[in-house]
Structure 1
């Protein structure tokens, strides 16, 4: 299924048409997009999708799309999960996942502006495949890992490199948590609807020029490994987001460096999920 937050309401996308979940379920499911991230509702959502007459539904207006999971409980982000990014960062290939967090207030929609904080001139892009947890779980085995995932979406882990590496203590989480530094969307796609859930393609463009490209088969730590490792430490809840790491090509590692500027656009594309397109605007 292709699920979406359309105008703040939980929706199922059928081609270019929108099925409102609250209306279609006769009130059994509420309009809050949080219902999309809970696997307990997915059987009913599929039934609603199968029964719908798409020709009678309204056409999707992309302007109305918001973050598929606008109010996650946790936003977990992996560092150095692609060999190419570890190498360009001058870091050793990790032997276990390295984790940081983004605060939930950083999450925004697929076409929202990214607000560049005043006086900050080292704002970087990081295209990421984002997992949405669909079930309360802990100590998940690798064999069970995909069974707790409600869906996959596009994400950007926008980062203030100047703040991230400012002495005396590196501020990874704060540098990644300004408002609007977590664009996600445009759709939440269930894993069974992807061509190959273990080989997801991802592309990032800045001002139309490709700057990053990768496939999730290049992960150092696969999705099952990530979920099993994370759930050893924390209980995962429906709606939690996992940013699975970025690939090589980030702005700070380029010569010359490529940092985001007022008026620039950042696009993240995953086939079968779609593209986010965010314009950078100075505060």
Structure 2
């Protein structure tokens, strides 16, 4: 199932998307949460929608909000594609590279992305986002991770490379600028993604293809990442994990590197998880 959230005069409304028709889920859930994704009776929702029990809208007529409720945390995995590590001159990591991102960076899929004041190295990263559905701590194996995943979502891990790499300290300040995590347009329940390691990811800047990869090239697969993180922190329903990006980011290009500027348009997509278009503007 594909779930989203949209804004109405009365506030944010959760909905299910079926054939480009948005069916409001008022009365079924207050929001699209990780727990809802993992435990709700999705066939019943589908049947009710097809029976016309919900208020309906054309997808083109709704104002998108982030497709999930704001998570308690965003956990990110760096250098998780072999080709991306190579293009940045980094060694293949022996263990997942983990950093955190401010949950307040999440914005709708079609939001304007703000280039921070003083930034000259704002970069793009298309990523597979994993939404946790059930609490996870000390999972026994990567195979056990499948049971705690609620869904998958298209995520844009926007990054400011000078802030991230050249300004000292940890990566977080280059990742947590305002609007730096557009999400969606919708989240897909885990049961509809047969193999999270068989998804194509693509990103264009001003209609020029920059990234064209596959999750098959991850160094640490989705289930390994979830298992690994559960050894160090409690993963709670609704938490978002950004699992890394394939080659093609501006950081990996020859000089002068084509970092994003106000007016640029970024388009990104993942197989089965939709497409998003964002315009850059100056903060």
For normalisation by structure 2, the TM-score amounts to 0.92
Alignment of 1:48-63 (within 5 A): 48-53=45-50, 57-61=56-60, 63=62
Give the deviation of 1:52 after TM superposition.
2.3
Contact 1:5 1:66 in 2 (8 A): yes
Deviations 1:166-188 (A, max 9, x none): 24x24411111011000110110
For residues 35 and 219 of structure 1, the distance between their equivalents in structure 2, rounded to whole angstroms, comes to 24
Shift in CA distance, 93/35, structure 1 to aligned 2, threshold 3 Å: closer
Contact 2:37 2:151 in 1 (8 A): no
Give the deviation of 1:70 after TM superposition.
4.0
Residue 47 of structure 1 pairs with residue 44 of structure 2: yes
Counterpart of 2:175?
A: 176
Counterpart of 1:153?
A: 153
Give the deviation of 1:13 after TM superposition.
0.8
1:174 aligned counterpart, secondary structure: helix
Deviations 1:227-266 (A, max 9, x none): 1100011110111000000111110110231100011011
Contact 1:84 1:248 in 2 (8 A): yes
Shift in CA distance, 214/148, structure 1 to aligned 2, threshold 3 Å: same
Give the deviation of 1:61 after TM superposition.
3.0
Give the deviation of 1:20 after TM superposition.
1.4
For residues 240 and 71 of structure 2, the distance between their equivalents in structure 1, rounded to whole angstroms, comes to 6
Alignment of 1:51-200 (within 5 A): 51-53=48-50, 57-61=56-60, 63-140=62-139, 141-167=141-167, 169-194=168-193, 196-200=195-199
Give the deviation of 1:85 after TM superposition.
0.9
For residues 261 and 147 of structure 1, the distance between their equivalents in structure 2, rounded to whole angstroms, comes to 41
Counterpart of 2:269?
A: 269
Aligned length: 275
1:9 aligned counterpart, secondary structure: strand
For residues 162 and 62 of structure 1, the distance between their equivalents in structure 2, rounded to whole angstroms, comes to 39
Give the deviation of 1:195 after TM superposition.
5.2
Deviations 1:113-135 (A, max 9, x none): 00111221110111111000011
Counterpart of 1:210?
A: 209
For residues 33 and 191 of structure 1, the distance between their equivalents in structure 2, rounded to whole angstroms, comes to 14
1:192 aligned counterpart, secondary structure: helix
Contact 1:126 1:246 in 2 (8 A): yes
Give the deviation of 1:149 after TM superposition.
0.9
Long gaps (5+) in structure 1: none
